[in-house]
Structure 1
Amino acid sequence: MNERAGTVATDEDLVDIEALIAAYHERKPDPSVASQRVVFGTSGHRGSSLNSAFNDDHIAATTQAIVEYRASIGVDGPLFLGADTHALSAPAHTTALEVLVANNVHVLVDEFGDYVPTPALSHAILVYNNDPAHHDRADGIIITPSHNPPTDGGFKYNPPHGGPADRDATSWIADRANALIEAGLTDVKRAQPSAVDTYDFRGRYVDDLASIIDMDAVKASGIRIGADPLGGASVHYWQAIAERYDLNLTVVNPLVDPTWRFMTLDWDGKIRMDPSSPSAMASVLTHQSDYDILTGNDADADRHGIVTPDAGLMNPNHFLAVAIDYLYQHRPGWNPDAAIGKTLVSSSMIDRVAASLDRTLWEVPVGFKWFVPGLVDGSVGFGGEESAGASFLRMDGTVWTTDKDGILLCLLAAEIRAVTGKSPSQLYAGLTQRFGDPAYRRVDAPASPQQKAALKKLDGDAITATSLAGEEITAKLSHAPGNDAEIGGVKVVTENAWFAARPSGTEDVYKIYAESFRGQEHLEQVLAEAKSIVDAALEG
């Protein structure tokens, strides 16, 4: 924990926006340097122009690759294009638009020149593709590095299902983009756009919220809601929601500044718009007693932070458990067999809630893309991950978004408070009385690139340990129970505890997630033994 974590950023912490934008246009990536190549992680290509990882060449080549990819799978409808408030998002938007127009792609940009949250783009794609009047298919590009620091840019492709592209698509796009860069961009088409068609992302998203949230109950309750966009793309959406539904809702901080000078520093001393981090949310937490529900979103509004007067900022795992327990008892229009989706590093409190609801638990690897098919066909009512990302079905059991929706989860917190008369944190306390009070933590352990590669391919059977922190090991997983997809690591389970180990995609460490229903001391024992177990398996 950095000694300045939770304190307001100073001038020395701020990025030079002019230098950042200049680097975007002037610097050229070296394809022989791994860190300067196009690489798609679980949420697209990310990097900074200052280290030549996110520049005009990257975006031009990646957009051309997306044009070719969408043509190869028969997508010939409109492409929705949106961007968040990061400084690099605007020039990347311009680059992408030039390439798309030159390739005769029908592009739809925001009608008011507004920022576009990730969930609004996903919603737009799905609304278009589910309209029987449309005989073509739409897809989209959202330009955002999510909660990453102000120095970063991000670029993500959402295919016609509306959610994050799968590995087959992103690998193809990245490989083609790198080949185009290596060839000097000779096959990249660019043109200055003249007239571009528009789409009202904000109006259509806000108007449709009544199909998924009980807005009448929220209004009737009169509860005081505070919404802090954290300088992100949801800023005008929250004001529109307040006006459209006549809610007692205040936009706590409507400022947008690409340096994010108003943010408090995250745990490592960096500016990071993470609404699940107590350090990043420190300034928001000063208002916790002013509202019945106080919320935060990251820069593209795909993540949520829930603050209550009685408990402050909720742990994301805790709110997911409360949301699931509430939704499956208040959505009679859902398929009675609709499963509960969770990533395998989310809390086992969700497992116990699912069992109490007599619902199938669908446990998948890390990454929201795994929930897409279930949300599309209604077989999964709710999909959530421990990093404060989730979405769920409309009242009638049909799909809303297939990407994470932080605005939606914040509004759900308001509905829960309005309908039950209790805060989500009070409801979580009730869950702990029924099922136990788990302790949960994530730590990093050093690992060489070779060890990380080995861990990614490690089979559960390679683990020879038979006990963990005094309990018999009941499962050693290298594939997710829900869909049998590779974890990219391992998960070890006992009756009252578990740990999962996965390699980091950006640092020479592997991440250990662990939880215990036997208290903090037992959790520390689980974490210590987890490292020994994984290290032994890697050495073997």
Structure 2
Amino acid sequence: MNDRAGTPAQESDLVDIDALRAAYYDLKPDVSIPEQRVVFGTSGHRGSSLNTAFNENHIAATTQAICEYRAGQGIDGPLFLGADTHELSGPAMTTALEVLVANEVRVLVDAFGDWVPTPALSHAILRYNNAGHPDRADGIVVTPSHNPPADGGFKYNPPHGGPADTDATSWIAARANDLIADEMRGVRMSEPSGVETYDFRGTYVDDLENIIDVKAIAVSGIRIGADPLGGASVNYWAAIGERYGLDLTVVNPNVDPTWSFMTLDWDGKIRMDPSSPSAMASVLTHKDDFDILTGNDADADRHGIVTPDGGLMNPNHYLAVAIDYLFRTRSGWRPDAAVGKTLVSSSIIDRVAESLDRRLWEVPVGFKWFVPGLIDGSVGFGGEESAGASFLRFDGTVWTTDKDGILLALLASEILATTGKTPSQHYRELTQRFGSPVYERVDAPASPAQKTALGKLDGDAIGATELAGEVIVAKLSRAPGNDAALGGVKVETANAWFAARPSGTENVYKIYAESFEGADHLKRVQSDAKSIVDGALDGA
């Protein structure tokens, strides 16, 4: 934890916007250098122009690769294009438009020149594709999500509306790097013309009544505070309050590409993470001014929930409350609709699902795994421990296939309006029934070779039989829900578990751990986890 975590940003913490924009155009990547290649993580390609990791050639080549990919897949409908409030999102969107138009792709951008949250783009793709058109739509959202102000991000969402799978992103990244290596000779660009528009905000906001009980919220008169954290949801929250007659205040309507109004995150960086107490410190000063106070990151795919009686909720705690509430109130969902969670989310969700007599569907890290189930209604709710989730409409049909932080924030108000209890109160009641887990993620050093070995590690390679004094009951390297590789391992006992995964950007591996036996027991779990993983890696 940095000494300045949770304190206001100072002038020295702010990125030089002019230098950032100039570097986007001036610096040319060399893809023989790994750090300068196009690399798609779970949420697209990300990097800073200052490090020659997110520059004009990256975006032009990636967009050209997307044009070729969609043509090869027979995707010939419109492409929805939106961007968040990061400084690099503007020039990257312009570059993408120049390539898309030159490749004769029908492009739809926001009708009012507004920023476009990730969930609004997913909603637009699905709305078009479910309307019976003979062609299929897809989309690009230009965002690095909650990343610092110096970063840019570029994400492709195919016709299913959610994050592209590895097959698609691997092909797109490889083709983009080939184009860059060939000095961009295969990239077509022209001045944008004939670009169509789409009302992302109005369409999304008007449809919310089909998934959230906005009438109950309005009738209750609860006071809602929404902080967009300088992100793309800023005008959406104002529109939601006006459209549905809610007592809703946009706590901070400011948009500043340096994010100078933020408090520093745990590591001393500016990061728009609504689930981080350090990043949300300034928001938390308004805790007692509202009945429900929420935050979103820059592209509004993450949520943070603040209550007067509980402060900022741990994301795992809120997911458990949301699941318990939704599966008890959504009578239009399929009776066999499952509870979807990633394997590094809290096990209190397992206990909640069992009490609801609902199937638990555990998948690896990455929201893309929930997409098929949300589309066909076999998964009612999909959530990640990193404060990202979505769920079905009242009638059991798909809403979005990407994370929706606006939706989850509104759900907190519905829960209070219809039950008279805050999500924090509901969580305390859940712990009285199921126990109170302690959860933490820590990092441990690992060489590139060790990270590779961990990513391929088989659970059977772990020889330990006990974890923190309890008998190990499962050693997993594949997800129970869909048998997909975890890219790491998870070890479980009756009252605790840990999961270990290599970092995609640093020479560390991540240890997620949880115990229902208290903080001291959690420390033992973490210590044993490191010994177990290190031992397995030494033998690999």
- Shared fold per TM-score greater than 0.5: yes
Give 1:225's aligned residue.
224
For residues 187 and 511 of structure 1, what CA distance do their matches in structure 2 show? 39
Equivalent positions of 1:151-300 (< 5 A) are 151-300=150-299
Instruction: Output one character per residue of 1:335-379: Cα deviation in whole Å (capped at 9) or x when no partner.
Output: 010000000000000000000000000000000000000000000
User: Once the 2 structures are TM-superposed, how far is the Cα of residue 478 of structure 1 from its aligned partner?
Assistant: 0.1
Instruction: Output one character per residue of 1:21-48: Cα deviation in whole Å (capped at 9) or x when no partner.
Output: 0000000001110000000000000000
Partner SS state of residue 491, structure 1: strand
Instruction: Output one character per residue of 1:271-300: Cα deviation in whole Å (capped at 9) or x when no partner.
Output: 000000000000000000000000000000
Q: Which segment is superposed worse, 530-539 or 192-201? A: 192-201
State the one-letter code of the partner of 1:429. R
Instruction: Output one character per residue of 1:459-491: Cα deviation in whole Å (capped at 9) or x when no partner.
Output: 000000000000000000000000000000000
Give 1:342's aligned residue.
341
Give 1:108's aligned residue.
108
Equivalent positions of 1:26-425 (< 5 A) are 26-132=26-132, 134-425=133-424
State the one-letter code of the partner of 1:185. M
State the one-letter code of the partner of 2:523. E
For residues 517 and 358 of structure 2, what CA distance do their matches in structure 1 show? 25
Number of aligned residue pairs: give it.
539
For residues 294 and 85 of structure 1, what CA distance do their matches in structure 2 show? 22
For residues 478 and 2 of structure 1, what CA distance do their matches in structure 2 show? 34
For residues 215 and 134 of structure 2, what CA distance do their matches in structure 1 show? 35
For residues 241 and 362 of structure 1, what CA distance do their matches in structure 2 show? 32
Give 2:432's aligned residue.
433
Partner SS state of residue 163, structure 1: coil
Give 2:23's aligned residue.
23
Give 1:8's aligned residue.
8
Partner SS state of residue 70, structure 1: helix
Instruction: Output one character per residue of 1:103-140: Cα deviation in whole Å (capped at 9) or x when no partner.
Output: 000000000000000000000000000002x1100000
Equivalent positions of 1:456-467 (< 5 A) are 456-467=455-466
For residues 470 and 122 of structure 2, what CA distance do their matches in structure 1 show? 44
State the one-letter code of the partner of 1:46. R
For residues 131 and 31 of structure 2, what CA distance do their matches in structure 1 show? 42
Partner SS state of residue 362, structure 1: strand
Equivalent positions of 1:387-536 (< 5 A) are 387-536=386-535
State the one-letter code of the partner of 2:78. P
For residues 51 and 523 of structure 1, what CA distance do their matches in structure 2 show? 38
State the one-letter code of the partner of 1:9. A
Percent identity over the alignment is 79
State the one-letter code of the partner of 1:160. P
Partner SS state of residue 408, structure 1: helix
Instruction: Output one character per residue of 1:128-170: Cα deviation in whole Å (capped at 9) or x when no partner.
Output: 00002x1100000000000000000000000000000000000
Partner SS state of residue 402, structure 1: coil
For residues 299 and 381 of structure 1, what CA distance do their matches in structure 2 show? 26
For residues 123 and 294 of structure 1, what CA distance do their matches in structure 2 show? 24
Instruction: Output one character per residue of 1:392-438: Cα deviation in whole Å (capped at 9) or x when no partner.
Output: 00000000000000000000000001000000000000000000000
For residues 194 and 11 of structure 2, what CA distance do their matches in structure 1 show? 40
Partner SS state of residue 254, structure 1: coil
State the one-letter code of the partner of 2:300. A
State the one-letter code of the partner of 2:16. D
For residues 411 and 2 of structure 1, what CA distance do their matches in structure 2 show? 32
For residues 285 and 13 of structure 1, what CA distance do their matches in structure 2 show? 21
User: Once the 2 structures are TM-superposed, how far is the Cα of residue 195 of structure 1 from its aligned partner?
Assistant: 3.0
State the one-letter code of the partner of 2:365. V
Partner SS state of residue 340, structure 2: strand
For residues 211 and 136 of structure 1, what CA distance do their matches in structure 2 show? 26
For residues 332 and 134 of structure 2, what CA distance do their matches in structure 1 show? 28
State the one-letter code of the partner of 2:367. F
For residues 374 and 178 of structure 1, what CA distance do their matches in structure 2 show? 33
State the one-letter code of the partner of 2:151. D
Q: With structure 1 as the length reference, what TM-score do the two structures score?
A: 1.00
Partner SS state of residue 105, structure 1: coil
Instruction: Output one character per residue of 1:54-99: Cα deviation in whole Å (capped at 9) or x when no partner.
Output: 0000000000000000011110000000000000000000000000
User: Once the 2 structures are TM-superposed, how far is the Cα of residue 193 of structure 1 from its aligned partner?
Assistant: 1.1
For residues 447 and 538 of structure 1, what CA distance do their matches in structure 2 show? 10
State the one-letter code of the partner of 1:457. K
Instruction: Output one character per residue of 1:244-296: Cα deviation in whole Å (capped at 9) or x when no partner.
Output: 00000000000000000000000000000000000000000000000000000
Instruction: Output one character per residue of 1:194-226: Cα deviation in whole Å (capped at 9) or x when no partner.
Output: 231000000000000000000000000000000
State the one-letter code of the partner of 1:312. G
Partner SS state of residue 30, structure 2: coil
State the one-letter code of the partner of 2:455. K
For residues 33 and 186 of structure 2, what CA distance do their matches in structure 1 show? 22
Partner SS state of residue 430, structure 2: helix
For residues 394 and 521 of structure 1, what CA distance do their matches in structure 2 show? 41
Instruction: Output one character per residue of 1:152-190: Cα deviation in whole Å (capped at 9) or x when no partner.
Output: 000000000000000000000000000000001001000
For residues 7 and 516 of structure 2, what CA distance do their matches in structure 1 show? 33
RMSD: 0.3
For residues 507 and 230 of structure 1, what CA distance do their matches in structure 2 show? 27
For residues 10 and 468 of structure 2, what CA distance do their matches in structure 1 show? 44
For residues 200 and 108 of structure 2, what CA distance do their matches in structure 1 show? 10
State the one-letter code of the partner of 2:7. T
Unaligned runs of 5+ in 1: none
State the one-letter code of the partner of 1:237. Y
For residues 325 and 157 of structure 1, what CA distance do their matches in structure 2 show? 32
